[in-house]
Amino acid sequence: MATKTKTKANAEIGDEGEDLVLATMVANGDDISPLVRHAFEMGRPEGLLRQLNYVVKKKEAEIEDMCKTHYEEFIKAVDELRGVLVDAEELKSDLQSGNFKLQQVGTNLLVNLEELFESYSIKQNVTEAIIMSKNCIEVLELCVKCNNHITDGQFYPAIKTLDLIQKRIPIIKWHIEKRVNSQVNEWMVHIRSSCKNIGQTAISRAVSDRQRDEELMERQRKAEDQNVVGVEERVYTLDVDEDDEDSAMKFDLTPLYRACHIYGCLGILEQFHVYYFTNRSAQLKSDLEISSSQSFVESYQTFLAQIVGYFIVEDRVLRTGGGLLVPDQVDNMWETAITRLTLLLNAQFSQMKSATNHLKVKEYVTLLSWSLLQYGYDIESLLDVVDNNRDKFHLLLMAECREQTIEALNHDTYELMVIKKESDYESNVLSFGLQTTDIMPAFPYVAPFSSMVPEMCQIVKSFIKSCVDYLSYGARDYFFDVVIRYLNNFLIEVINETLLNTINSSNISVSHAMQIAANFTSLERACDFFLKNAAQQSGIPLRFIDKSQMTLSAKAVLQTSRDATYITLLGLVNAEIDEYMNLTESVTLWTTEETKQNGNEYISELILYLDSLMSTAQQVLPLDAMYKVGIGALEHINNTIISAFLSDSVKRFNATSVMNIGVDLKLLENFADERFYSSGLEGMYKASSFRDCLVESKQLINLLSSSQPENFMNPVIREKNYYALDYKKVSTICDKFKDSADGIFGSLSNKNTKQTAKKKSMEVLKKRLKDFN
């Protein structure tokens, strides 16, 4: 007992020493990870935790002692902080009060300063007026003096006085010129600031004109599509006279007219012409510089409206300025503006990353062009810029629509869309021409496509509208062919490729492939709607489309992709069938002596899979596609059975295995017949049913089960009963048909004479097949 106590005490002393070591390492900031690793390697984490707890308690005690020691100093520091807070509040209040007083004083000073500036301006004007008045008084006095000299007959002094008067006249003229220039400069500043509003007003009028024209075209198009007879054709034109123009865009040219008159009276009108043209050209150069503080997308409307307003003003000056401007000068200014705008727009269009922004800028450029066309300006260069950048726009548009298409595909459930009410049917089916009948169905209605189809149709419809919006009011009046080209590209390169990429992905399932195949069919049907929608948007009568029997080339591409999808679908189905029919891997299947009345083990699961497959296909796919799936699956099963007999993995098989596979085929034939007739396919495909896909396997089993297999070499019997079998395949398969190691039908030959005869018949067939080969 004393020994145990001593051992326990020694352990505690050792632990305490370890605790001290750990505490020292923590206090010194040393890395304790080696201790932690060692503790876990030694399987003693509890001791380490106890040591850490010891260090924590020790540190807590130190903190507590320190707090007790400095408690009074801490309280004192808090009190001092409270005092500082009070002082800070007082300082804040003093600052607010001082700021208020400063604002009051500053406001009064600002008022006084403004009054001072105004007084100074008045003083300058008064000073100039006094100086000019003195000049005028002196001139008047000289005139009086000259008149007195003439009255007194003192003609020489009168002439000298006239010389003095003429020296005063240039000073007065200079002052008049200076005042007129000041007024003209003020007008130029004012008119420049007004140009933006003038341009915006003109563009707003252009928008209204365009909307009215579109409404008129829409009414005419509907009348033409409905074959309305006797509709009176009316041509609506915009009658704009000068009074209407002035009321729409008011700007005053009086200061300019007055200046022309004064300069004319002074005899220096040409000087004023040069002055006006030089200063307005400088303003134009400044207006053609884009703002660096804003992006072009944010500032283009103001920028372009300013240009429109500028040239509207110059057109008015040209027409009413009495020669202040000549046509060549206006043409030169317009050429300068066109050159700069062309470079600027090309650069901006090339840098744009958004089709929406591209379209907005294009719309405003065409509105600018339409507005200035009314004033006789040549706008072809601007329309060429729009036309030359259309491919860039459509690349951006296709990229944005591709993202939308992929998003629609990712959100799809790959299940048939269930439509519960008529309004949903109209928005998701009728609005895209996806209906298979003109009769309104009962609801809920199960559509033959998934939700991705109406979403993609809406994307295509939006794409068409954006294409037409870009091409409208451009360099070409007829652009329907361009719209069709872009539409075909979009359907092929975006819609078609996106679906094909999904089909060709490694993780596609049978149900997904089947639904995409059905969706291809619906999209192919929607191509007729896309074509007519593009025609309507482009102003082409629908009767032209119907008469020309025009179709989209993308429709054939979608059809080809649909067929490719069926091939992929059949490949997926065949792969799953192969998982059920691992015939070559089962040795017992070929050598069993057990007769299976219900067929081999795989057959029940295979038929269940086929039943599920055909049920889904009947629900999702059209009947012709469902027929292809059924034919493809059963043909693959037939080929799999034949391939299994021919496989090098199957060295031999016996009569029992043949009998069991015959049962399998009988079950498959029953399933094939039931599916073929219950689906209503007999009326469409009378020449070839599902059962016919299994005929090669069935004839092979019949031949191997026949008591007289040598009849296969009889042309009449072969043509009647074995027409689907190939000589070489039959020869290879017959070589493997053995019941025991001692030869063909060895185990059966000992049972009865009939089997012996069958054995001999098979040997004859085998020999004749070898001779034939």
- The bridge status of strand 445-446 relative to strand 418-419 is antiparallel
Q: Is this prediction's pTM over 0.85?
A: no
Q: What is the dihedral of CA 451, 454, 455, 461, to 10 degrees?
A: 170
Cβ neighbours, 10 Å, residue 493: 14
Q: Which of 418, 327, 423, 344 is nearest to 385 (CA)?
A: 344
Report the interhelical angle of 269-287 vs 254-266 (nearest 10°): 140
Residue from 272, 75, 67 nearest 185 by CA: 272
Closest C-alpha to 580, from 564, 599, 593, 567: 599
pLDDT value of position 587: 72
The confidence score (pLDDT) of residue 96 equals: 87
Residue-level length of the chain: 773
The helix (H) or strand (E) run that includes residue 747 is none
Rounded to whole angstroms, how far apart are CA atoms 511 and 708? 46
Spans in the chain with pLDDT lower than 50: 1-14, 16, 228-248, 740-753
CB atoms within 10 A of CB 329: 18
**Residues 55, 47: contact at Cβ < 8 Å?**
no
Q: How far apart are CA 765 and CA 459, in angstroms?
A: 66
- Output the 3-class SS for 529-556: HHHHHHHHHCCCCHHHHHHHCCCCHHHH
Tell me what pLDDT residue 349 has: 92
Within 8 A by CB and 6+ apart from 468, the residues are 479, 483, 534, 537, 538
As given in the structure block, the two tokens for residue 249 are: 């865009």
Residue 520 CA to residue 564 CA, distance in Å, equals 11
* Rounded-to-integer distance, Cα 553 and Cα 531, Å: 10
CATH number of 397-565, picked from 2.170.120.12, 1.20.1240.10, 1.10.357.30, 3.40.50.970:
1.10.357.30
Place of tokens 């493809």: 632
391 residue type, one letter = D
Read off the tokens for 429.
Answer: 């089916």
Residue range 454-464, pLDDT digits in tens? 999 999 999 99
Domain boundaries, the chain: 20-152, 170-221+248-377, 397-565, 584-741+753-771
Residue 619 token pair? 């629900």
* Tokens encoding 228: 């309305």
Residue type, 642: I
Q: Nearest 5 degrees, angle CA 290-CA 274-CA 252?
A: 70
Contact between residue 484 and residue 552 where contact means Cβ atoms under 8 Å apart: yes
Closest CA to 415 of 378, 452, 440, 372: 452
Residue type for position 763:
E
Spatial CB neighbours of 335, under 8 Å, sequence gap ≥ 6: none
The residues that bridge with 737 in the sheet, in sequence order, are 653
Give, for 419, the enclosing helix (H) or strand (E): strand 418-419
Integer Cα distance of 415 and 422 in angstroms: 20
Contact call for residues 197 and 244 (beta carbons, < 8 A): no
Buried-state track 662-672, b at ≥16 Cβ within 10 A, e below 16: bbbbebbbebb
Total Cβ atoms within 10 A of residue 231: 11
DSSP alpha helix (H) spans, 581-622: 587-591, 601-620
Q: For residue 585, give the DSSP letter.
A: G
Give me the torsion for CA of 168, 170, 173, 177, rounded to 10°: -140
Domain 584-741+753-771 has CATH 1.10.260: no
Spatial neighbors of 445 by CB under 8 A, at least 6 apart, are 418, 419, 420, 425
